[in-house]
């Protein structure tokens, strides 16, 4: 993209981690998509349980556990998106996917033709702040598209 030509985004991706501020992040992304007349997708990632389970957990049926985790994540996604408004973000725009968040975000950007990312940045201070799973900082290291970072 040339710096002299700024293009209005047609597709926006909002990544949420189900933290306390997630409804506000979705609402912000929704309002932004309305202003820009853009299509909004909301994404949450869940851990790939099959990759996390090892030889030491043979008694757990990972397929069933994974199905239950994804169903619970989809229910939570519906609850968060419905706070913005009833069915303003329909089922095909609410994405729950397995995998490493940054990898999944980049895959969705490519597959859906996303042109703008909205992501929250957890503003935490203290010695334990290095252990947070902040996806904004990870995405900023090598961005593929413009992004909006919301401090929470």
Q: What are phi and psi of 70, to 5 degrees?
A: -65, -40
Give the tens place of pLDDT for each residue, 96-148. Answer: 999 888 889 999 999 999 999 999 887 665 443 443 456 667 777 778 898 89
Spatial contact of 61 and 74, defined as CB atoms under 8 Å apart: no
Residues 6+ apart with CB under 8 A from 133: 17, 101
Tens of pLDDT, residue by residue over 50-107, are 665 555 555 567 778 888 999 999 999 999 999 988 788 999 999 999 988 888 999 9
Delimit the domains of the chain by residue range: 12-126
Question: What is the per-residue pLDDT for 136?
Answer: 66
Against a cut of 0.95, is the pTM above it?
no
Q: Which CATH superfamily does the domain covering 12-126 fall into?
A: HUPs (3.40.50.620)
- Do residues 23 and 83 touch, judged by C-beta distance below 8 A? yes
The 10 Å CB-count burial string (b at 16+, else e) for 20-59 is ebbbbbbbbbbebbeeeebbbbbbbbbeebeeeeeeeeee
């Amino acid at each position: 993209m040339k710096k002299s030509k700024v293009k209005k985004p047609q597709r926006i991706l909002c990544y949420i981690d189900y933290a306390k501020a997630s409804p506000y992040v979705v609402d912000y992304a929704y309002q932004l998509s309305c202003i820009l007349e853009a299509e909004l997708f909301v994404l949450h990632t869940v851990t790939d349980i099959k990759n996390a389970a090892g030889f030491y957990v043979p008694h757990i049926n990972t397929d069933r556990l994974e199905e239950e985790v994804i169903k619970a994540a989809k229910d939570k996604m519906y609850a968060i998106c419905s706070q913005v408004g009833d069915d303003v973000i329909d089922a095909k725009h609410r994405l729950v996917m397995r995998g490493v968040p940054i990898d999944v975000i980049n895959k969705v950007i490519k597959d859906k033709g996303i042109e703008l990312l909205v992501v929250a940045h957890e503003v935490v201070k203290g010695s334990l702040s290095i252990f947070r799973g902040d996806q904004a900082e990870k995405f900023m290291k090598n961005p593929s598209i413009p992004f909006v970072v919301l401090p929470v």
